[in-house]
Copies of this chain bind each other. A is one copy, B any other.
Amino acid sequence: SNMDTSFHTDRPLVAGVYVPTVCFFDEETEDVDTATIARHAVRLAKAGVTGLATQGSNGEAVHLTHSERQLVTATTRKALNDAGFPHMPIIVGCGSQSTRETIQLCCEAWEAGGDYALVLPPSYYASLFAPSMATVMEFFNAVADASPIPIIIYNFPGAVNGMDLSSDVIVKLSQHPNIVGVKLTCGNTGKLNRVAAATRNKRNDASKPDFLVLAGSADFSIQSLVAGGHGILAGLANIAPKACIKTIELYNQGKHAEAQAMQEIVSQGDWTAIQGGVVGVKSGMQGWSGYGGYARSPLPKPTAEQAKKWKDGFRDLILLEKSL
């Protein structure tokens, strides 16, 4: 059974670099390419990242069926276990429009070996929420009540028609024992600062981590650390995991000038990842690492010119990565 102890061992959330892994597909059929998924997961683990996240925006969650989502997560879990990383946590993107399906996704994530669920607020019917944040609070609390795995709130206004959760809402939700962190892709480090301050040492439970506050892009890594954040969950780490890790390590070691110098290279590389999204990140991986392929249709395949642009945009970062 995949329900045995070794499968569902405790993998606490700690500070560090988490990677929302891109998903891989056969170029002809667009079927899920499990071999490359496994290979990429192990490569990231060996680079030293703290955890992986399947089915984030870079993982094309919205392009996958329920069973494909489980396949990707289970493949990732098995690959990590087989390669000697049984303790590395996997976060699974589980947001959907209904409370019911979101809970179902959390259960399926757990069955497939996921440790945490990353949950976007529902937004399709946002104009009918009454009032807006009361419905959102109710949604998150209901999901957290029912989910077999803890919840990480995903605040990404660009993905949910502009809905932006305030520090007040996030802090209130952090009181639920099964809501254990937040990923802030909004880039608002003032909000991050308020959330980190209000949730620090909240749980008074030495056996569990505090509320984990993660930056959603690598271009504000040390900016989030100085504001009390614990790390990043950022697509750029698919391309340059070591550079992302080292930037944060240097900062945490008090080597601020060196951290700042490295952050600047990371931020410049991230500008390409932000502009190109999963299309650009995959193109960059293909260009520099020889694998990556394309996103599922209708996402476009880059032209030769675009592929060159994405590759060039990551050049300095890749040079740094290879030196580490």
Q: In the complex, what distance in Å separates the CA atom of A306 from the CA atom of B268?
A: 35
Chain B residue with the shortest CB-CB distance to A137 = B298
> Nearest Cβ in chain B — how far from A165, in angstroms?
13
Q: Is A299 in contact with chain B by the CB < 8 A criterion?
A: yes
Q: Is A97 in contact with chain B by the CB < 8 A criterion?
A: yes
Does B226 contact A298, Cβ atoms closer than 8 Å?
A: no
Query: What residues of B have a CB within 8 angstroms of the CB of A99 in the complex?
Result: 296-298
Q: In the complex, what distance in Å separates the CA atom of A79 from the CA atom of B225?
A: 41
Chain B residue with the shortest CB-CB distance to A168 = B271
Interface membership of chain A positions 126-139, coded 1 if the CB is closer than 8 angstroms to chain B and 0 otherwise = 01111000111011
Q: Given contacts A97-B62, A139-B297, A142-B297, is CB(A193)–CB(B125) below 8 Å?
A: no
Give the number of copies in the complex: 4
Which of these, B65, B124, B274, contacts A62 with CB under 8 Å? B124
Q: In the complex, what distance in Å separates the CA atom of A178 from the CA atom of B97?
A: 30
Q: Is A256 in contact with chain B by the CB < 8 A criterion?
A: yes
From A40-48, A70-78, A184-192, give the one contacting chain B. Answer: A184-192
From A5-13, A82-90, A205-213, A276-284, give the one contacting chain B. Answer: A276-284
Interface SS of A by simple majority: helix
Query: What residues of B have a CB within 8 angstroms of the CB of A274 in the complex?
Result: 190
Does B100 contact A63, Cβ atoms closer than 8 Å?
A: yes
Which of these, B101, B142, B306, contacts A63 with CB under 8 Å? B101
Does A298 contact B142, Cβ atoms closer than 8 Å?
A: yes
Q: Is A54 in contact with chain B by the CB < 8 A criterion?
A: no
Q: Is A290 in contact with chain B by the CB < 8 A criterion?
A: no
Please tell me the size bucket of the interface on A.
Answer: 35 or more
Does B223 contact A189, Cβ atoms closer than 8 Å?
A: yes
Which of these, B97, B130, B193, B260, contacts A228 with CB under 8 Å? B260
Q: Is A320 in contact with chain B by the CB < 8 A criterion?
A: no
Q: Is A35 in contact with chain B by the CB < 8 A criterion?
A: no
Q: In the complex, what distance in Å separates the CA atom of A128 from the CA atom of B294?
A: 13
Does B190 contact A219, Cβ atoms closer than 8 Å?
A: yes
Q: Is A241 in contact with chain B by the CB < 8 A criterion?
A: no
> Nearest Cβ in chain B — how far from A90, in angstroms?
22
Does A128 contact B227, Cβ atoms closer than 8 Å?
A: no
> Nearest Cβ in chain B — how far from A102, in angstroms?
9
Which of these, B57, B128, B295, contacts A299 with CB under 8 Å? B128
Does B135 contact A267, Cβ atoms closer than 8 Å?
A: no
Q: In the complex, what distance in Å separates the CA atom of A264 from the CA atom of B189?
A: 11
Query: What residues of B have a CB within 8 angstroms of the CB of A158 in the complex?
Result: 127
Q: Is A318 in contact with chain B by the CB < 8 A criterion?
A: no
Query: What residues of B have a CB within 8 angstroms of the CB of A280 in the complex?
Result: 128
Q: Is A93 in contact with chain B by the CB < 8 A criterion?
A: no
**Additional A-B contacts beyond A130-B300, A187-B190 (8; CB < 8 A):** A62-B125, A98-B298, A128-B300, A136-B298, A187-B189, A190-B219, A191-B219, A223-B227
Q: List 25 A-B contacts (CB under 8 A).
A: A62-B98, A63-B97, A63-B101, A100-B296, A125-B277, A125-B299, A130-B302, A130-B306, A134-B300, A139-B297, A168-B271, A187-B190, A190-B217, A190-B219, A190-B270, A190-B274, A193-B220, A193-B223, A193-B264, A194-B267, A194-B271, A220-B223, A222-B227, A223-B226, A228-B260
